[in-house]
Structure 1
Amino acid sequence: LQLGLQKTELTEEEFYLAEALTAKYTKPSVYDCIALAIAKVRGLTLLTGDGPLRKAAATEGVNVMGTIGILDQLHNGKYIEDEEYAECIQRLIDKNGGKVRLPKYELEIRLQRVRKND
């Protein structure tokens, strides 16, 4: 909570939508469906890297952003400099394949692009 996350309560509409989404999509967890319901009702971008949840969000017309997208936003908004962006991307590449599962090609493109700017 100290880093900007906020507690929220489900509205009745969100509760019933989450229940319907849980019945409709078998792969995302109940908590994933709650997050999807909140994002859909409130018109928010859903932050996730989970494949089944991304697929459900696309079907529901909810915008999704993952780790790479967040880094892109931070870099494009000038919240982090080229060097820090490149370091983050390189660390993701180094850790990729274990707990980190991201599209290697997308990471490499970004790393090449930012290094050309140096």
Structure 2
Amino acid sequence: MEFINSPAAKAVKLPFSQAVRVGDILYLSGALGNVPGKLELVPGGIEAEARQTMDNIGAVLKENGLTFADVFKCTVMLADMADWPTFNRIYLDYFDPDRLPARSAFGANGLALGARLELECMAYMPRS
């Protein structure tokens, strides 16, 4: 197993790794729409949080030589299921419409930092 944290993630000193690689799979921890390296959400509601969440996941993927094309499974947690259509619209901007990951979504009562959304993903990361 390989435990992965960027310098920015280490600076925040959270009690988990950004990602863990086991074999050919990269398991990403749940991501929020926080300002990178800070424990504060971006302003602007669900749309801004959704874009920042996706960008935060994209940054972890990129740091590991991957893209959204390598993601095969996502789990979406929403503080309000009424935000599901808005999240879906933004989410689709990050994936090829013919290669959408398997996905689950559910409502959650109370996400970290008072976030409206948390997203965790798994990506295929074959050993070279």
- TM-score > 0.5, shorter chain as reference: no
In terms of fraction of residues, the more helix-rich structure is 1
Bigger relative contact order, structure 1 or 2 (CA pairs below 8 A, ≥6 apart): 2
TM-score normalised according to structure 2 size? 0.26
TM-score between the two structures when normalised by the length of structure 1: 0.28
- Bigger Rg over Cα: 1
